């Protein structure tokens, strides 16, 4: 089998699988199911790096493969799925479709930029990245579910604002804004150390 197949890629593959199933559910009119799987895909993406870092003897090819599949999975789950959800909400106008295309393209640009800078950074130093340039595409796994919850609580017409929210998020993907990265592995280590002190 081609590729680098070991336990470090399982969550990344899960990210992709949940994203694809979310698209099918959304096209069938099950938007709530699509949102749920968007969140689950986000959880997979949140922990895949921490899992990969547990394999201390990863080769350069394994690391490069992990970077590539992570971005490809993110493009499906956090760019294509939200666009499909918008279309399934009934936003099928020419302008709406242009916004969906822009959103996916902006995500592609953001992810490609990340890959190039990440591979260049890893050649110079092994320390984890401390900030992102541009809004990470994975942020939609938090933003869109919150939008759906707020629309239900405040009785908003989600279909009328969803497309414009995607346009704003797409712009943030490609804007040169620095956003601090949350180190999930470090948070877990701090939590474990705190528990050990309490024992």
Cα separation, 86 vs 1, whole angstroms:
37
Dihedral, CA of residue 69, residue 74, residue 80 and residue 81, to nearest 10:
120
Q: What are the structural domain ranges in the chain?
A: 7-198
- The pLDDT assigned to 65 comes to 87
Cα separation, 187 vs 199, whole angstroms:
19
Cα separation, 35 vs 21, whole angstroms:
11
Give the number of other CB atoms < 10 A from CB of residue 110: 26
- The pLDDT assigned to 114 comes to 85
Assess contact for 66 and 168: CB atoms under 8 A: no
The contacts of residue 95 (CB under 8 Å, 6+ apart) are: 163
What's the helix, strand, coil split of the chain in %, to 5?
A: 75, 5, 20
Assess contact for 22 and 38: CB atoms under 8 A: yes
Q: Per CATH, which fold does 7-198 belong to?
A: 1.20.120
- The pLDDT assigned to 131 comes to 74
Q: What is the pLDDT along the chain (199 residues), one digit of tens a residue?
A: 777 788 888 999 999 999 999 999 999 999 999 999 999 999 999 998 888 878 777 787 888 888 889 999 999 999 999 999 999 999 989 999 999 999 999 999 999 998 888 777 666 665 666 677 889 999 999 999 999 999 989 988 888 899 999 999 999 999 988 777 766 555 555 545 555 555 5
- The pLDDT assigned to 58 comes to 78
Cα separation, 7 vs 36, whole angstroms:
24
Cα separation, 54 vs 52, whole angstroms:
5
Strands (E), the chain: 131-133, 178-180
For the entire predicted model, the pTM comes to 0.84
Indicate the DSSP class of residue 137: G
Cα separation, 46 vs 106, whole angstroms:
21
Residue 12 is encoded by which pair of tokens?
Answer: 């990344």
Cβ-based burial of 169 (10 A; exposed 0-12, middle 13-18, buried ≥19)? buried
């Amino acid at each position: 089998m081609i590729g680098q197949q070991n336990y470090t890629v399982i969550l990344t593959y899960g990210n992709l699988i949940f994203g694809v199933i979310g698209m099918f559910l959304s096209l069938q009119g099950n938007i709530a199911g699509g949102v749920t799987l968007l969140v689950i895909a986000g959880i997979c993406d949140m922990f895949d790096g921490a899992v990969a870092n547990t394999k201390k003897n990863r080769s350069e090819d394994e690391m490069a493969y992990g970077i590539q599949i992570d971005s490809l999975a993110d493009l499906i789950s956090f760019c294509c799925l939200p666009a499909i959800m918008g279309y399934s909400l009934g936003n099928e106008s020419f302008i709406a479709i242009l916004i969906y295309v822009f959103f996916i393209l902006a995500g592609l640009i953001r992810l490609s930029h990340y890959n190039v800078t990440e591979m260049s950074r890893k050649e110079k130093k092994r320390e984890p990245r401390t900030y992102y340039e541009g809004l990470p595409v994975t942020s939609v796994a938090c933003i869109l579910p919150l939008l759906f919850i707020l629309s239900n609580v405040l009785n908003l017409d989600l279909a009328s604002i969803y497309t414009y929210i995607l346009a704003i998020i797409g712009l943030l993907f490609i804007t040169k804004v620095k956003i601090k990265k949350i180190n999930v592995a470090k948070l877990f280590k701090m939590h474990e150390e705190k528990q050990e002190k309490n024992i």
